[in-house]
Chain A
Amino acid sequence: MERNHHLHRQLANLRQSFFDQGYLDEQFIQLEELQDDANPNFVEEVVTLFYKDSARLIHSIDQALEKHPLDFAKLDSYMHQFKGSSSSIGAKKVKIECTQFGEYCRAGNVEGCKRTFQQLKREYAVLRKKLEAYFQFVRQIGPIETASRPN
């Protein structure tokens, strides 16, 4: 019991760190609030879906960035989609990179685009790792409902 309590606290702290460090925004809380008996793992399902779906976009953008000259309109369009997706799980840092990328696109800044995209992919991957660890943790010690959810 004591140990369980301790773990829950750890989980809560971990979760809180995502917000404190700017990885996630309130959208993630929205997802948590949607979780109910009908979908007890709703947040994880959504995050998983996001990573699965966005992989193709990342791939598309990667390919588009190889082209000469760059098709900025196309890149911008891709990034727009990616930004929309990122907003669905509240991937705050990723979203920031998306916005930056879009600006470089409109400015026709090739270097800026490429650099930002690398940064974007890093943030994307970091968040993925963090969230994966988090969900694993959740599965270990029980449903998130039992974890204290700071409001």
Chain B
Amino acid sequence: MMENSKTTAGFSSPRSDNFPAGLRVLVVDDDPTWLKILEKMLKKCSYEVTVCGLAREALNLLRERKDGFDIVISDVNMPDMDGFKLLEHVGLEMDLPVIMMSVDGETSRVMKGVQHGACDYLLKPIRMKELRNIWQHVLRKRMHEARDIGNHEMDQFDEVWMLNGTELLSGKKRKDFDNEKEISDSRCVDSSSMKKARVVWTVDLHQKFVKAVNQIGFDKAGPKKILDLMGVPWLTRENVASHLQKYRLYLTRLQKENEVKASFCGMKHPNVSSKENSPQNPVDVCADVINDKCSGVSGDKAIVQNGKANIYESKVKGVVSMPVAEPRSVVGDNFGSKTSLSDSFALINTDVKSLNVPTPYCFTGEAPQPQYKQDFKPRFPSCTQPTCSLNFVPSHEVRDRVSSKENKPSFFKSRSGVGKLSALEAIQPVSHQINFHALEQIPSTTWSMTSQNVDQNLVNGLQSSPGNLTLGSGSVVASLGEDASIQGECFPAYYGLRNIQQFDYSDPQTISGVPTCLYDTLRFDYEYPNDSLEGIVLDQGLFIV
């Protein structure tokens, strides 16, 4: 049956076909009348219900049948044991979501429940519609777990955000992060009431962890030793143990992935006018980002490479990049300027940190269509004349703040410049598509938000006037400069994406100017199984050594 998410890498259970049906609920209430009602209600919700009239009994049951329940609903006032006490135990020992219920809606009590880790606080009389929804807590919890694991099948937002936040924030966002950090800190510190507070493994913290592991030796490293070496007072052995487990999983997976020979090429253009475009090697930038040295990485910086297309080979530790092609010349032939391309990439590239994704995107004017359709393995070699090979590696570092302010000017500028180039027509859509790719693969909200920038303009430009795509960048540019690049927050960009995609497909006009392979690339991407990509990409980002 369902396995506890703690023990499964991918929490397959809640994703099973009939989830949330079959959700295993333990109800604890000393009031037999309510037990009877709740049992009936929960059964009507197609949940698997176990009722228990005593808190101690419930605790025993939970201990006996570890992984036997998905969620606990407990009354606050029980004679044999305070509901809060039970809540604490359950949180600590089983790490299950607990819903508290009481006839008393006094704020202080609700507060107490939440502080003790209750995922919800229901007031009696409890309605069926409230119970119908409780599966969300299970799902949420597992999503968070996946987040911690680096599984990335689900939302990665929080963790990514934290990673970002640590060192990469600048300006206003930094402030936001501080707030967030404060919250998380207090959570961690207040161990009496929040023993089960989820540890946010920031880059910093993770580095300490890795350092400790390396010092002890990977094979010998145990949670206790690591904890001692890390010297982080509020961290518990359990925290470390769980992280160690995830870390091992991650390394294992990474190893496998390496065997697959993941490589991709990134293409960067030098022509961007912005002075921020330092000729930094992408790898360096990435490394910086990873090492927290590079605070406030501006989009342009990270992005702009010396007009080289690079192939990055993924290594367990570190990233190696090697120039593979000179897109410049190719592009140059076809188009007067590469600026637009590079710029649009810029956005993405900025965000790109992990170079591990085996997803090359190539488009060539003359390239045969099915090029990338069949597989996602590096294909450049076969790309005789890659106009540009683009790779987008979703990374954790992706910041929403990469955003705008920095990018905006150059973005805008180059864009408009591009608009004048007739050859642009072809390129323009290309870059859009690329952006789009990146989006598609990005599992985390952060990603979406990154892409949001690009996406936004995509949507705007495309939606409102499809012609823009092919015919000119003018309006696209405008939207880019104005709203597109300024998305601070993250929104699920998929929505927009879908639209775009549809648009691309349905309107051959739009694509007419674009090399056919583009179209295919797009399609390919769409079909491309997200899962593998996500895992890889985000893993890389998560645990950079």
Contacts and interface: CB of A to CB of B under 8 A. Distances in A.
B37 A80 contact: no
Interface of B: 30-34, 36-37, 40-41, 44, 75, 77, 102-104, 124-125, 127-128
A80 B34 CA distance: 14
Contacts of A83: 103
Contacts of A34: 37, 40-41, 44, 128
Interface of A: 27, 30-31, 33-34, 36, 39, 42, 45-46, 49-50, 53, 77, 80-81, 83-85, 87-90
12 contacts: A30-B128, A39-B40, A46-B33, A53-B33, A80-B77, A81-B30, A84-B31, A87-B103, A87-B125, A88-B31, A88-B124, A88-B125
Nearest to B78: A81
Nearest to A80: B77
A30 B31 CA distance: 18
Nearest to A49: B33
Given A36-B44, A49-B33, 10 more contacts: A31-B37, A34-B37, A34-B40, A34-B128, A46-B36, A49-B32, A50-B33, A84-B77, A87-B124, A90-B125
Contacts of A30: 125, 127-128
Contact of A85 (B33, B41, B44, B128): B33
Contacts of B37: 31, 34, 46, 88
A31 B34 CA distance: 11
9 closest Cβ pairs, A-B complex = A84-B103, A27-B125, A88-B33, A50-B33, A87-B125, A87-B124, A34-B40, A49-B33, A88-B34
Contacts of B77: 77, 80-81, 84
Contacts of B75: 84
B34 to A, nearest CB: 5
A81 B128 CA distance: 21
Contact of B36 (A36, A49, A80): A49
Contacts of B125: 27, 30, 87-88, 90
Contact of A84 (B34, B40, B41): B34
Nearest to A33: B128
Contacts of A42: 40
Given A34-B44, A80-B103, A80-B104, A45 B128 contact: no
Nearest to B77: A80
Contacts of B36: 45-46, 49
A23 to B, nearest CB: 15
A81 B44 CA distance: 26
A33 B36 CA distance: 14
A45 B40 CA distance: 12
A33 B45 CA distance: 13
Contacts of A31: 37
A87 B127 CA distance: 11
A73 B159 CA distance: 45
Contacts of A89: 33
A36 B125 CA distance: 20
Contacts of A53: 31-33
A89 B30 CA distance: 16
B70 to A, nearest CB: 22
